[in-house]
Amino acid sequence: MNQELLQTISFVVEIDKLKSILRQNAVIGKERRENDAEHSWHICVMAMVLWKYFDKHNANMLKVIKMLLIHDLVEIYSGDAFCYDDKACEGKKEREKEAAIKIFSFLPPDDREEMMSLWLEFDECVTLEARIAACMDRLQPFILNYHTQGFTWSKPGVTSEKVLKRNEILKELSPELWEYVLHAVNDSISKGYLKEK
SS3 label, residue 35 = strand
| pLDDT tens, position by position, 151-174 | 999 998 899 999 999 999 999 999
Close Cβ partners of 176 (under 8 Å, ≥ 6 residues apart): 53
Whole-model pTM?
A: 0.95
Residue 144 identity (one-letter amino acid): L
| pLDDT tens, position by position, 49-107 | 999 999 877 899 999 999 999 999 999 999 998 999 888 889 999 999 999 999 999 99
Question: How far are the Cα atoms of 43, 130, 135 from residue 141, in angstroms, in the given order?
Answer: 9, 18, 11
Q: Which of 154, 149, 144, 138 is nearest to 187 (CA)?
A: 149
Distance of alpha carbon 163 from alpha carbon 90, whole angstroms:
19
Each domain of the chain, given as residue ranges in start order, spans 3-191
Q: Which of 15, 35, 32 is nearest to 23 (CA)?
A: 35
Fold exhibited by the domain 3-191: Hypothetical protein af1432 (1.10.3210)
